[in-house]
Chain A
């Protein structure tokens, strides 16, 4: 390159940088000058990238709920305003967008995240800036933070009842714990393994296996499951396979003729949305454990599904468990804000425990001092039309446990944000850790 040219490039670059800095600074100057006439609600769900498949729906639900609340006259005499951002399935971007929502947009609350890693990524931000996050997805537990409210299921609200059901109803003696290799399946399987052993299952009757995200070639695994199931004892598969890998897994199960009457599969991450991509006729009778099913016949649920279909202008849209979690979480937040008379985070955080809201399946969920909620647990069997037929449910509601009693590290920990003001109080050492 010519020297002149190179010099020119350098100088020019200098000027451009100056210009860029100038814009950035002026941008910074404009930001705080916005008046707050509405109550802003942040929506932090990926609209592009790999997680868009699950999260886009939750954004739509939130928009619907906010619209509905505004029709009812808003909150504290103000209108609610949704602020939608796209963290693009990129975990550092989740943290950046959370910061932007709280600092720049001054939202009062954020509803968002799906994967555990996205929640872990935004946690420090919510703690630092003292805001509120409602997290709607079933997760591995082992967490209770002052600024986060967990409206999805903890392992004791999904995994353990499901295993109980299989032991009792289907007399299962041999278990395959099949999961995607990330923290939710790892923790859930650890808990289940400890639980099964405590119920007298022999270690050689438990097979645990992990596959990578988006695993699409299930031939070997399904054959292995068939082989494991041929030891003469009733065998079941407990699947914590993550969303995307489920469709090829079920297609392979169906084609290799693994019928629910021989080896039932109970899944914790397969709901109506996931089944929308599969022909479910060969899967008749395989199970899922959730706290909500679209097929549950209650007036609230019927009304909700009708509204949802009208809102999305799509008569085929399905509803699922995390959507219900947002419905319950949003109702609780609205109540807590009304009770506190302000959207000030500290006051709302204090007002939330004890708040109740009707869930769509006919019960009333309550926010507990450990920031988890009470939920009913349902076991559903897959029907030919992609919906679930509820075959079992808990008597009453199950309170969510932040810390599992089946894990060595966490059995002594207690979360209580009302009395103890602590998310990980160690009942042995009588100290609040961390």
Chain B
């Protein structure tokens, strides 16, 4: 009898809480979410989860709340499918803002502390750590006593510490112990907790917290140096990617290719085209206004995760072909006149930019990160983002492959022969004109795959190339023309120097300082870091 009564009362409370979602007011919704999180009703999880995913619908006319469960509308209170479904015009999605999203996360955390899946329990513990909602303390302690998974257990302990340290009624010893745990944790969120204890905290606790915060700050300072070094490596790899194609066309062939940046841009647009085709599940090509065009269906299993592995070779081929075309139609006639080449390629770059603008429109194009390039992971106190990590690996791999190609393939051998002594190379039967075209195509193709990588971190717009051209030239000249290793060292030196200067001098002054340093460096070593020696120099 008693049991039934309690149950009924609880059901009423749950129903009352649900009514709060009908008013379309953020304050009411927040009150509802908090109540659901604290109430611990078994049905609460589904409601809060639906709210988080934007599947919670209010039906103010019928005074009920519905959950959109993959098209079927279920009553949140009973879980029964509603039929007939009310007309969509009567339903209003329950809206969220940031404050609510925080409340939702906290509620979900409290509700899933004892979920069967350890991964979800871990998420829940971390959510409670963030919300440090004192109301969740009993739940945390209950979960802690039963937890078997060590990772979840320590996360729960941390959540408990976060709650205890900020709650004025906790015993002093427990709070000091909590300070110790946070000091152990030693990251920015621990620091944030320790440096903002509520007023009225006992002096002993405050003192322990202050010394812990200072210790964490010191430790973070050291990590910061490592973090800067990583940023430098990452910037260096971007510079390397942008410059490496130029190191071939400019460094090896002596062609000042001002259209190099546009090759990078074409590579980025190739990525866009690939991703767009995958999104549409078909590759469509049409010339507007003519009715000419075709559409090629793509297998449905192809997801955006595959876009980059497809785009890299495609970009290489596309930009390589464009490069060969430019070489055959323009640059071929300008060998021996490097400055004229500069002017002609500048003209080509204008044409390519405007062509892309005409074909794709002037606005940015969306290129998304595949799932394996999204997010970050923590290495100690270092936060390393996957896209940067992949770009570092990718640029080094590209560099290694290029070196290997020049060293061990026939084409590489012939390229080196033609650069070192064109006349002799021709005499031994190498078709120098063909090698020139292929070398230029190779340089352009590499610029194209650089574009694929850069599309992951930068704008894909017709102006993309322009922003990299000067940096690329600086890297090649700094490293030493004609030496790929110079380009590698140059790129990473400039990247790291830039990132260590930035925190002190700011981004602009840092960049100016780097430019001035390069200018001064060139005075000391007019031919760069790794100067070519021997006859080729004075040619």
Contacts and interface: CB of A to CB of B under 8 A. Distances in A.
A231 B231 contact: no
Interface in B69-120: 95-99, 101-102, 105
Contacts of A169: 26, 97-99
Contact of B461 (A244, A252, A282, A391): A244
Given A212-B511, A260-B101, A219 B231 contact: yes
Given A170-B98, A227-B188, A274 B364 contact: yes
Contact of B374 (A170, A254, A264, A285): A254
Contacts of B366: 276-279, 386
B386 A232 contact: no
B413 to A, nearest CB: 38
Given A211-B508, A256-B383, A279-B369, A52 B362 contact: yes
B325 interface: no
A220 B503 contact: yes
Contacts of A364: none
A282 B374 contact: yes
A135 B499 CA distance: 39
Given A169-B97, A170-B99, A285-B101, A257 B375 contact: yes
A231 B192 contact: yes
A183 B530 CA distance: 42
Contact of B102 (A214, A232, A257, A261): A261
B357 A52 contact: yes
A405 interface: no
Contact of B459 (A210, A244, A256, A282): A244
A56 interface: yes
B506 interface: yes
Interface string A154-172: 0000000000000001100
Contacts of A170: 98-99
Contact of B98 (A52, A229, A277, A381): A381
Given A230-B189, A231-B192, A279-B369, A261 B508 contact: no
Given A169-B97, A219-B234, A248-B459, A212 B507 contact: yes
Interface residues of A, number: 56
Contact of B508 (A52, A210, A381): A210
Contacts of A260: 98, 101
Contacts of A264: 98
A215 B192 CA distance: 29
What size tier do the contact residues of chain B reach?
Answer: 35 or more
Given A53-B461, A53-B463, A231 B196 contact: yes
A214 B98 contact: no
Nearest to A46: B362
Interface in A262-299: 262, 264, 273-274, 276-279, 282, 285, 287
B290 interface: no
Contacts of A412: none
A294 B96 CA distance: 19
Interface in A165-211: 169-170, 181, 209-211
A19 interface: no
B98 A232 contact: no
Interface string B155-190: 000000000000000000000000000000000110
B227 interface: yes
A223 B191 CA distance: 15
B387 interface: yes
Contact of A251 (B95, B130, B457, B466): B457
A48 interface: yes
Interface string B188-204: 11011111100000000
Contacts of B354: 48
B385 interface: yes
A220 B499 contact: yes
A56 B362 CA distance: 7
B98 A53 contact: no
Contact of B195 (A209, A232, A287): A232
A255 B387 contact: yes
A393 interface: no
B192 A232 contact: yes
B365 interface: yes
B375 A217 contact: no
A224 interface: yes
B438 to A, nearest CB: 32
Contacts of B507: 211-212, 215, 220-221
A224 B348 CA distance: 40
B248 interface: no
B369 A277 contact: no
Interface string A222-265: 01101101111100000000001001100110111100111010
A260 B99 CA distance: 9
A260 B506 CA distance: 25
A128 to B, nearest CB: 31
B502 interface: yes
Nearest to B227: A223
Contacts of B508: 181, 210-212
A394 interface: no
Contacts of A223: 227, 231, 383
B66 interface: no
Contacts of A221: 507
Nearest to A165: B97
Nearest to B383: A256
B238 interface: yes
A389 interface: yes
A19 to B, nearest CB: 25
A415 to B, nearest CB: 33
Contact of A216 (B96, B357, B385, B458): B458
Contacts of A103: none
Contacts of A274: 364
A361 interface: no
Contact of A214 (B96, B363, B467): B467
Contacts of A216: 457-459, 467
Given A53-B364, A247-B364, A381 B97 contact: yes
A255 B362 contact: no
B493 interface: no
Contact of B369 (A52, A214, A251, A276): A251
Nearest to A171: B99
Interface in B362-397: 362-369, 374-376, 383, 385-388
Interface in B480-503: 499, 502-503
A57 interface: yes
Contacts of B502: 220
B460 interface: yes
Interface string A57-68: 100000000000
Contacts of A252: 385, 457
A397 B460 CA distance: 37
Contact of A391 (B97, B238, B363): B97
Contacts of B97: 169, 285, 381, 391
Given A224-B503, A277-B363, A391-B26, 6 more contacts: A53-B461, A56-B363, A169-B99, A220-B503, A248-B459, A255-B388
30 contacts: A48-B354, A50-B466, A53-B461, A53-B463, A57-B363, A169-B97, A169-B98, A169-B99, A170-B98, A214-B463, A214-B467, A215-B507, A216-B467, A217-B231, A220-B502, A220-B507, A227-B188, A231-B196, A232-B196, A251-B369, A251-B387, A251-B456, A251-B457, A256-B385, A261-B98, A261-B101, A274-B364, A277-B366, A277-B367, A277-B459
Interface of A: 47-48, 50, 52-53, 56-57, 169-170, 181, 209-212, 214-217, 219-221, 223-224, 226-227, 229-233, 244, 247-248, 251-252, 254-257, 260-262, 264, 273-274, 276-279, 282, 285, 287, 381, 386, 389, 391
Q: Which 4 A-B pairs have CB atoms at the shortest separation, nearest pair first? A: A232-B196, A277-B364, A279-B368, A230-B188
Interface of B: 26, 95-99, 101-102, 105, 130, 188-189, 191-196, 220, 227-228, 231, 234-235, 238, 353-354, 357, 361-369, 374-376, 383, 385-388, 456-463, 466-467, 499, 502-503, 506-508, 511
